[in-house]
Chains A and B, each alone.
Chain A
Amino acid sequence: MTDQSIFLSASKPRHDSDAATRRALDDLRRVGRLRPAELLFWGAALASFLVLPGSHLLLSQTAILGLFALSLDLIIGYAGIVSLGHGAFFGLGAYTAGIVSVRLTEEPLSGLVLGGLVAALAGALTGPLLTMRATDLSRLMVTLGIATLLHEGANQLTWLTGGADGLSGVTVAPILGLFEFDLIGTTGYGYCLIVSFVLFLAARRVVTSPYGLSLRAIRDNALRARAMGIPVAARLVGIYAFSAFIAGVAGALLTQVTMFTSLDVLGFERSADVLLVLVLGGVGYLYGGLIGAVLFTVLQDRLATLSPQYWQFWIGLILVVIVLIGRDRLAAVPVRLRAGLSGRKAAAGEGEA
């Protein structure tokens, strides 16, 4: 977890600061390069599109969940903000896309972008509440509270949201006027994949920039970061809004792919599930959310056939076991495996950056 932020916090002599800056930038550039394993991951995603045409509906859900978990990783893994109400932004995006489709235009991209923007605006407005003297606990409660408010709001504004019945009548025109949404979800999955990939690249660019480095400095020690002249509050609000944007887009994708949205996009269970997804995949290296989404979907599928009513029990059990074993110990397993396989010492921080 300490990784590159060492460069920022190390007590270097003053005349060395240029060299340190250069080293930090070099390091960022090195981390910023796409690695073979990453190409493999996205190659596999593309292959799933071609090889598994029968599961496109399920795969779309997985991609959306992955994107949502990725947005959560940005604030938990990189900025250290623990949130219990990230579903608020997902739900905002989902409802915005739905309302845009019902009232404004059926063109999908505008709904997608508007969904993201509305969520980002909400993130930018509520972000400052999380920075002022906030503790982990008050952050948890404020994020949870905001999600509860939105849930209540969507429930009450029946004329706009359809209330408890959900928002129906969502129709989506072909993407770019070319690709029509089909019943088996092929267009939908392609759409989800492309959007996820683009946003992933954006998120990756952000976290491997000096901006991302300063976020990790804040996460590791906010006081010290402030003393170094990092504008802590502005940085936290910035990443919070960006994360909200991605969550909003994920929500908008869900509405457009399923052509429906209902109150459960704003429910507590969704915020809790996405935490589990992220933890399953591992926090703080962007792929955690995506890998976690795949694991979660497989698990959900298996557990639901095992005991449809009680799969939440197993989800809970998995969470408890993961925490008891220790997340960092689990995260070390792949690194150790790779080290064992290749016979060389894998750098401890490599799996995280």
Chain B
Amino acid sequence: MIPILIDGIAYGMLLFVLASGLAVTLGLMNFINLAHGAFAMAGGYVTSVLMNSHGVPFLVTLPVAFVVPALVGAVLERTLYAPLYERSHLDHVLFSIGLTFMAVSATTWAMGSQQQLISLPGWLEGRFALFGIAIGRYRAFLIVVCAALVVALQLVLTRTRFGSRLRAAVDDRRVARGLGIRVETIFAATFAVGSGLGGLGGALGVPMLGLDPTFPLKYMVYFLIVVTIGGTAGLAGPFLAALIIGVADVAGKYYLPELGSFLITLLMIVLLVLRPQGLIARAR
């Protein structure tokens, strides 16, 4: 029971880091970015290539797995995404599906379609006992790293000048612009950080979720579920949703393996029908 709970929490935390970028673009900037998984995949491949071909240690690859997708995200945001913010949701969907297909094919072409494997450093392998409960070291590592990221994100969003500018820009672009806030720059920076976090999540997820070119399509639904169920008011909702989904998915696969992803999808539909705005909706 408790190992499953811990597994679920680790999985949920990982999902949150993966989806937090989407929570920002979708929740705050109102752009339905189905291609978010492609940035996560980029991070995963950065780590895998650096480790396997260049022998870089795992921990050192993580910042790179953040920076590369963030730069790509910043460039794409300025060139392709930004002109589409005001368009219809159908346009967002079409555009980002197209981008996802391109990313999947291009990755297959460049890297091959096989699973990417990385070998974790010894101190992250195996288990250790805490109060008599065996806990996977990597799971514990994930929980610690992701929890730190969650706290950092929340602090940036609520306590810094950047955070308050971002919230102002989201609430009312025109007024924010009138106050001298550089909305475009803030959006670009936010998109870049979101993509970077996705990439970091992708890198952290390689040992747990696997990595192959279909990653963006395979996990797209999960990211979207986290954000839609969580609601678009801030990061608390998606965080809660990610934990619920992580635990429910791991428990479901353990106790009722024949149901597969049935449970999680059903949970999503029920929650969305009951609360279309998500668990924690913005007060209006």
Contact = CB atoms under 8 A, between A and B. Distances in A.
A279 B94 contact: yes
A327 B93 contact: no
Given A312-B101, A313-B102, A316-B100, A145 B94 contact: no
B272 A141 contact: yes
Contact of A320 (B26, B95, B273): B95
B268 interface: yes
A145 B225 CA distance: 9
Given A135-B276, A136-B89, A142-B272, A316 B98 contact: yes
Given A129-B269, A138-B272, A316 B99 contact: yes
Contact of A142 (B108, B258, B273): B273
A148 B228 contact: no
B265 A149 contact: yes
B266 interface: yes
A283 B109 CA distance: 33
Chain A residues touching B, range: 35 or more
13 contacts: A133-B276, A136-B89, A137-B32, A137-B228, A141-B224, A141-B225, A141-B228, A142-B269, A283-B90, A309-B105, A313-B101, A316-B102, A317-B102
Chain B residues touching A, range: 35 or more
B70 interface: no
A323 B97 CA distance: 11
Interface of B: 26, 32, 80, 83-84, 87, 89-91, 93-95, 97-106, 108-109, 217, 221, 224-225, 228, 258-262, 265-266, 268-269, 272-273, 276-277
Q: Chain A interface mostly helix, strand, loop or mixed?
A: helix
Contact of B89 (A82, A310, A312): A82
A347 B203 CA distance: 54
B94 A319 contact: yes
Q: Max chain A CB contacts within 10 Å: which of B32, B99, B101?
A: B101
Nearest to A84: B93
Contacts of A51: none
A132 B94 contact: no
